[in-house]
Structure 1
Amino acid sequence: METFNDTMRVDRRTALKWVLAASAALQLPTSSLAQDTAKSVTGYGKDPNLLKLYKIGELWPLTLNDAQRATATVLSDLIIPADEQSPAAAKVGVVDFIDEWISAPYPDNQRDKPVVVQGLAWLDQESQRRFKNNFSALTEEERVVICDDISAAKAAAQFAEAAKFFARYRALTAGGYYTTPLGMKDLKYVGNVAMTTFEGPPPEVLKKLGLA
């Protein structure tokens, strides 16, 4: 049986997998958002200055309290731990990103808000039930025991809602991490840089995708 350690930790050396994951993770608002905004009487306020670097929480009030952020931090770092090349997720601001994301006033973000908030609460409740402590205070082995149950391909019925939370939180963690400069460097993403040649994907990647 595959466990969290086998399937759910991020293997950051498999760059192509995370290019695909990061591009799909955020589920950014579609054109329907523009339609929602156009129909709104009050709107969402003035457009931000795109040349300014805003501080966390400057555009709208944040959601997570200290206890929730502690839980979010250890969960993010469990999903993307530090390795010899790169820091763990929380070190590059992933928790700030998730807090900003669920606090934004837009429809897609507001749909994610109860999923994340209730999921973090469930983790602490389940940790108390099993180990008499909050999730952030557990050992890594104890956290993995819980995550094994909610990260399985087919979670048991009693973990169905927690599994939905975990899947969404993992996607947000990946999206937040791999859109930072360090995350893009980890993917070896070079961006809009001219290339004199392009050899195509490596044979091992094509083989893994069933294309070779």
Structure 2
Amino acid sequence: MIPPTPSPLLDRRTAIQWMLTAAATLTVRDHSALAAETPGATASARLPAKGYGPDPSMVKFYLPGDVWPLTFTESQRRTATALCDVIMPADETSPAASTVGVPAFMDEWVSSPYPGQKADRALILEGLDWIEAEAQKRFKTSFADLQAAQHIAICDDISQAQPKPEFKKAASFFKRYRDLTAGGYYTTPEGMKDIGYRGNIPQATFDGPPIEALRHVGLA
């Protein structure tokens, strides 16, 4: 289980401890292709998906919406983008989640026809609509246009380990959204660089895991 945080503004070092849980739920895909923006997608790219369809070509560059139609409305995309950046903001070493395409990844995730993603679809769409309505209720403006302190005021209420009864459903949404944001972020080149991942790079030697890591798992 992912430990709750007192604020959705995550410390990235802390996020590393729970990102593997999120990553375990994600289908490995070419995120750099899926995260590209899609100006003027063709009508054929937005035809309803029938079943799972054929396997995509692994040598073709796919834009969002080419494999199956996307889901987010413009309003939901703005809310999703703002919420991703509340969870994973830019800092002195790394870009914000929206900069590396995490909102587009979210749209792909909830649009795909697989059972696990279908289960997330309703939760995330309803959650985005709830958080937008809550912003209008509290501050009379859209969530994407709120100030940072206003973002945190809403997100703090739905990121607690024991949320108030009126926030329980929204808290379930936020937990899942936070998981997916981390999973999407840390599968980008920028995210992998942020945590020091060095896979897929040839090395002349391999000295094994550091002693600190071995001690952490009880092997030293």
Out of 175, 198, 215, the residue aligned to residue 190 of structure 1 is: 198
Aligned in 2, Cα 1:211/1:154: closer, same or farther, shift over 3 Å?
Answer: farther
Equivalence for 1:23: 23
Aligned in 2, Cα 1:15/1:44: closer, same or farther, shift over 3 Å?
Answer: closer
TM-score scaled to structure 2, two decimals? 0.79
Equivalence for 2:175: 167
Aligned in 2, Cα 1:187/1:197: closer, same or farther, shift over 3 Å?
Answer: same
Structure 2: how far apart are the matches of 1:67 and 1:15?
A: 28
When the two chains are superposed, the root-mean-square deviation of aligned CA atoms in Å is 2.4
Equivalence for 2:36: none
Equivalence for 2:157: 149
Structure that is richer in helix per residue: 1
Structure 1: how far apart are the matches of 2:172 and 2:27?
A: 15
User: Any residues of structure 2 matched to 1:29-48 within 5 Å, and which?
Assistant: 43-48=51-56
Q: Is the 8 A contact 1:18 1:187 kept in 2?
A: no
Equivalence for 2:75: 67
Identity of matched residues, %: 49
Structure 2: how far apart are the matches of 1:25 and 1:47?
A: 20
Q: Is the 8 A contact 2:127 2:173 kept in 1?
A: yes
Aligned positions, number: 193
Deviations along 1:24-46, one digit per CA (max 9) or x if unpaired, are 35378xxxxxxxxxxxxx74211
User: Match of 1:108, as an amino acid?
Assistant: G
Deviations along 1:146-167, one digit per CA (max 9) or x if unpaired, are 1010001111111010000000
Q: Is the 8 A contact 2:22 2:182 kept in 1?
A: yes
Per the TM alignment, residue 18 of structure 1 is displaced from its structure 2 partner at its CA by 5.1
User: Match of 2:172, as an amino acid?
Assistant: K
Equivalence for 1:38: none
Q: Is the 8 A contact 1:103 1:109 kept in 2?
A: yes
Gap runs ≥5 in structure 1: 29-41
Aligned in 2, Cα 1:112/1:182: closer, same or farther, shift over 3 Å?
Answer: same
Gap runs ≥5 in structure 2: 29-49
